[in-house]
Amino acid sequence: MNRVTKSSIMLVSILLVSMLLPTGSTSSPVSDSELTSTLENGIWVNETLSVNGTTNLAPQNANWVLYDVTDVYTEWPILRSGEYFSHVTPIDENVWNWSITIDVQGLSCTCWLEVSQPDGLSKAIINRVIFIGLGPHNPLLQPLHDDLIVVDEPVLLTTQGILSGDSIGESKIFLSWCHAPNGACDGDLYSAEVNVTWDISQQSNVGTFVIDATELELYDGTWQFSYVLQDMFLRTSPKVDVQVLVDQTDPEARLTSPSQVTEGETIIVDGSDSSDGVWSSKLQTVWYITEPDGSLRVADQSESSGMFLTLKPTVPGNYSIQLDVFDNVGRKSSETSQFVVYNMAPKLELKLDDSDEVSPNSWQIDENDVLDISTIVDETSNDRTNLIYEWYINDRLVSNDSELSTRLGVGVHELRIVVTDDNGESAVHEMDIIVKGEVTEKTGELNLMGIALIVTIIVGVILFTKRIRKNENDNSPMPKWNSSKKNESVAEYSNDEEELQMWNDSD
């Protein structure tokens, strides 16, 4: 089938669906705006076409076009057109009777009349099928159903037959179908006459028939259907196409998920193994999440994506995930999966003063220096706001803040920090704080200075004493030597010299 034919079929289907019943109606979306006509579908005229109706829109604005739709699969030629009503008569406030008179002498067609009036940004429109000129004229069908239907149980289709003066009761509908997974027939073409029931009350000519997948032996998949109306003289209408999706297989939901995860870890629940035969790709999903506290919620758009659920649980406990899958005809299948979320204990690091060292086991400061310690805790966002801090110095609780700033006395102090999350899990770090006293250093300096001073004093005393003695010796008179003693000394010296000389001679 070429592109022109497909386009024509689509166009005629749209236009036929838009046909109005004989009582007429308006296509305007405004409820109090109305364009109506008493002209019935299927009227047969030869020389003059007279159309009457009412409107509550400004009657000076109107357009009408008469198309030739004898061959619905070609571009419809315009046979007649006009911009105004032929006659307008006011009958009430903002209500007018109108009429259009069209000379159709010499025409022979199955025609389509369209009358429209502007109504704001939209239009009020009526359409009628009219048989003009000598016959015979082929019948037409107006489908009163969607052009795509889904079949599980038998489906009832409704259509309206339009004939040029013949009785609809003697007409028949013939149905053709084929398997068309890709939009075109793939395999055998089947046909059969359907059992149609006609409603001829008020000349509506509405017929109904059933498409039963079991009776027609249709398996799951896409099928292309078409049907035509054949009147009592065996004249046939243009075919009406309808696409039929057969789905008689129940869906089956399947889930794959881990059995346990850690708090704050991203978990992916996979439902892609769910199936519905050839319609698996058409399955619709709804995800439900049961929290550890028992509350049930529907997964939001940021968590669910078709057959996958992405979840980042921040609360430990038992979770339940339910996947509901729905097929084309609304059948549902559910599957549930459970997993456990374990709490993540906090991880603690300490930063002291402006040092780059992290969490040392000991730290030394000078007396009177301020000890500044800050904490870095790795924890889930939910627990981070509920952390409890406990600072102990020498087993005494001194603070519950996240940071510590204090002064300590000289000596060694035991520091312990305990961080606890809302599930009772704790992180602990212990260290020694050594405070160096400034007094000890000054005492050492004083001792050295004292020793140096003492040594200086001693040396000064000695030098002073020697100077005093020297001055005393210099100032005292020389003593007189005793001559006898002097002679004795000389004699002793001589003897000694002689003795020394004697030893030298012997040598």
Q: Check pLDDT > 70 for residue 125.
A: yes
Assign domain 260-342 one CATH number from 2.60.40.10, 2.70.40.10, 2.60.120.10, 1.10.760.10.
2.60.40.10
At residue 27, the pLDDT reads 37
The architecture CATH gives domain 140-246: Sandwich (2.60)
Of 68-77, 96-105, 456-465, the poorest mean pLDDT is in 456-465
User: Percentages helix, strand, coil for the chain, rounded to the nearest 5?
Assistant: 20, 45, 40
Q: What pLDDT is attached to residue 307?
A: 94
pLDDT in tens, 296-331: 999 999 999 999 999 988 888 999 999 999 998 899
Asked if the domains at 140-246 and 260-342 fall in one CATH topology, the answer is: yes
Q: Binning pLDDT at 50, 70 and 90, where does residue 471 land?
A: low
Answer yes or no: is pLDDT of 380 > 60. Answer: yes
Stretch 159-164: mean pLDDT, rounded? Answer: 89
Overall average pLDDT of the 137-155 stretch = 92
Which two three-digit tokens encode residue 302?
């940021």
Lowest mean pLDDT among 171-180, 223-232, 416-425: 416-425
Backbone phi, psi, residue 120, to 5°: 70, -125
**C-beta separation of 40 from 136 below 8 A:** no
Task: Output the CATH code of domain 3-132.
Answer: 2.60.40.10
Pairing of strands 296-298, 317-326: unpaired
* H/E run at residue 493: helix 483-506
**pLDDT (average), residues 161-165:** 85
| Sequence-distant (≥ 6) Cβ neighbours of residue 245 within 8 angstroms | 148, 149, 150, 151, 221, 222, 223, 279, 328
Residue given tokens 């402006």 in the structure block: 354
Between β-strands 260-262 and 332-342, what pairing exists: parallel, antiparallel or unpaired? parallel
pLDDT at residue 505 greater than cutoff 90: no
- Token readout for 362 is 């000991």
> Is the CATH number 3.65.10.10 carried by domain 347-436?
no
Please work out, in degrees rounded to the nearest 5, the angle formed at the alpha carbon of residue 32 by the alpha carbons of 26 and 38: 40
pLDDT computed for residue 29 by the predictor = 36
Residues 6+ apart with CB under 8 A from 297: 288, 289, 291
| Residue 165 banded pLDDT, cuts 50, 70, 90 | confident
Which of 52, 82, 78, 77 minimizes the C-alpha distance to 64? Answer: 82
387 compared with 472, residue with greater pLDDT = 387
- pLDDT tops 60 at residue 268: yes
Q: What is the pLDDT of residue 131?
A: 93
Q: What angle do CA 371, 374, 378 make, to 5 degrees?
A: 155
377 exposure class (CB count in 10 Å sphere: 0-12, 13-18, 19+): middle
CB pairs under 8 A, 24+ apart, for 388-394? Answer: 388/419, 388/420, 388/421, 389/417, 389/418, 389/419, 390/417, 390/418, 390/419, 390/420, 391/415, 391/416, 391/417, 392/416, 392/417, 392/418, 393/433
Q: What is the pLDDT of residues 425-470, one digit of tens each?
A: 888 999 998 999 875 444 555 567 777 778 888 877 787 777 777 6
pLDDT tens by residue, 13-58: 444 434 333 333 333 333 356 899 988 888 899 889 999 999 999 9
What average pLDDT does the chain have? 82
* Cα 55 to Cα 33: distance, rounded to the nearest angstrom: 8
Query: Which range is most confident: 99-103, 258-262, 352-356, 486-490?
Result: 99-103
For the chain, domain boundaries: 3-132, 140-246, 260-342, 347-436
Looking at residue 241, its pLDDT comes to: 94
List b or e across 194-231, with b for residues whose CB sees 16 or more CB atoms inside 10 angstroms: eebebeeeeebbbbbbebebeebebebbbbbbbbbbbb
Q: Look at residues 370, 445, 452 and name the one whose alpha carbon lies nearest to residue 403.
A: 370
Yes or no: say if 115 and 61 are a contact pair by the CB < 8 Å rule: no
d(CA 140, CA 160): 8
pLDDT tens across 203-218, in order? 678 999 999 999 999 9
pLDDT score of 477: 53
Please state, in angstroms and rounded to a whole number, the distance separating the CA atoms of residues 28 and 364.
88
Residue 383 pLDDT: 66
Give just the sign of the alpha carbon dihedral 213, 214, 215, 220. positive
